[in-house]
Amino acid sequence: MVQRVGEGKRDGTDGGERRKTKMADKFDPYRESLVLETETVWPDDLPEMNEKEKARIAEALHQDPASCAHLEYERLHTGFCRRITVTADDIARVSANA
């Protein structure tokens, strides 16, 4: 049985699977113009900080995505999701500019 993306199985379910397409991890002005969602990933190896500080840093990073060390675009149905994985260098840069 061939199943196309977006087409349910014979029982009417889609199996809970969603096809995601990740794009290159460099700043792309074209994709930026189509960003509909943003996501910030905080790796466990970063220093502990409170939620308010995380929110401030995440906002600063998403305001200047071209300067982020690790950036991904995920293709959505109608645009892109920008995903930034925070690095120690990103935190240092944002903190120095605060």
The confidence score (pLDDT) of residue 78 equals 93
Confidence check: pLDDT of 86 > 80: yes
Lookup: tokens for 36: 């509909």
Alpha-carbon gap, residue 73 to 81, rounded angstroms: 6
Alpha-carbon gap, residue 85 to 95, rounded angstroms: 16
What's at 73, amino acid-wise?
Y
The confidence score (pLDDT) of residue 97 equals 85
Q: What mean pLDDT comes out for the span 77-91?
A: 95
Would the pTM count as exceeding 0.85? no
